Structure 1
Amino acid sequence: MNSLILIIIAYLLGSIPTGLWIGKIFYHKNIRELGSGNTGTTNTFRVLGKRAGTVTFLIDMLKGTLAVLLPIWFGTELSPLLIGFFAVLGHTFPIFAGFKGGKAVATSAGVLLGFTPIYCLFLLAIFTSVLFLTSMISFSSIAVSVIGLVTLFIFPAFHFILRDYDWLFTLIVSGLALIIITRHRENMVRIKNQEESLVPFGLNLTHQKTKK
Structure 2
Amino acid sequence: MKTILCIFLGYLLGSLPFALIIGKVFYHTDIRQYGSGNLGGTNAGRVLGKRAGISVIVFDVLKVVLAIAIATLVSKVAGIWTGLACCIGHCYPVFAKFHGGKAVSTMFGFLFSTSIFLFQDASYLLVPFGMFLVVLYLFKYVSLASMCAAIASSLYITALMLGFNVESISVIVASWLMTVLVIYRHRTNIEKIKKGTENTISWL
Report the TM-score range of the alignment, normalised by the length of the smaller protein.
0.7 to 0.9
Distance apart, 1:44 and its partner CA: 0.8
CA–CA distance in structure 1, aligned partners of residues 146 and 44 of structure 2: 16
- The residue aligned with 1:70 is 70
Question: Residues 142 and 201 of structure 2 are in contact (CA less than 8 Å); yes or no, is this contact kept in structure 1?
Answer: yes
Kindly provide the CA deviation profile for residues 13-70 of structure 1, in whole angstroms up to 9, marking residues without a partner as x: 1000111111111011111110011111110111111111111111111111111110
Q: Which amino acid aligns with 1:84?
A: G
Q: Tell me the equivalent position of 1:101.
A: 100
Q: Give the corresponding residue for 1:128.
A: 133
Map of 2:198 onto structure 1: 196
The reply to whether residue 87 of structure 1 matches residue 82 of structure 2 is no
Instruction: List, as ranges, runs of 4+ consecutive aligned residues in structure 1 with deviation greater than 6 Å.
Output: none
Q: Which residue of 2 aligns with 1:8?
A: 8
Offset of residue 4 of structure 1: 3.0
Q: Which amino acid aligns with 1:170?
A: I
Structure-1 separation of matches of 2:147 and 2:173: 18
Structure 1 residue identity aligned to 2:4: L
Q: Report the structure number with the largest CA radius of gyration.
A: 1
**1:185 aligned residue (177, 182, 187):** 187
Q: TM-score w.r.t. structure 1 length?
A: 0.85
Unaligned residue ranges in structure 2 (runs of 5+): 116-121
Partner of residue 17, structure 1: 17
Alignment of 1:149-160 (within 5 A): 149-153=154-158, 155-156=159-160
| TM-score using structure 2 length | 0.88
d(CA) in 2 for partners of 1:110, 1:135: 22
Distance apart, 1:78 and its partner CA: 4.6
Q: Distance in 1 between matches of 2:200 and 2:32?
A: 19
Equivalent residue number for residue 40 of structure 2: 40
1:140-191 Cα deviation digits (max 9, x unpaired): 11221232343344x32xxxxx5x5421111000000010001101001111
Q: How far apart are 1:76 and its partner, in Å?
A: 5.2
CA 1:72–1:28: 2 relative to 1, 3 Å: same
Distance 1:180 1:72 in 2: 23
* TM-superposition CA deviations, 1:93-117 (whole Å, max 9, x none): 1000001111112112112211124
Structure-2 separation of matches of 1:77 and 1:139: 30
Identity %: 35
Where does structure 1 lack aligned partners over 5 or more consecutive residues? 157-161, 203-212
Secondary structure of the 1:130 match is helix
Q: Does 1:50 align with 2:55?
A: no
Which has the higher mean CA deviation after the structures are superposed, 128-137 or 3-12? 3-12
- The CA distance in 2 between the partners of 1:186 and 1:125, in whole Å, is 24
- 1-structure distance, mates of 2:4, 2:147: 32
Number of the residue aligned with 1:173: 175
Match of 1:159 in 2: none
Distance in 1, matches of 2:202 and 2:150, equals 23
Structure-1 separation of matches of 2:17 and 2:155: 31
Q: Distance in 2 between matches of 1:80 and 1:150?
A: 20
Distance in 2 of aligned mates of 1:4 and 1:169: 16
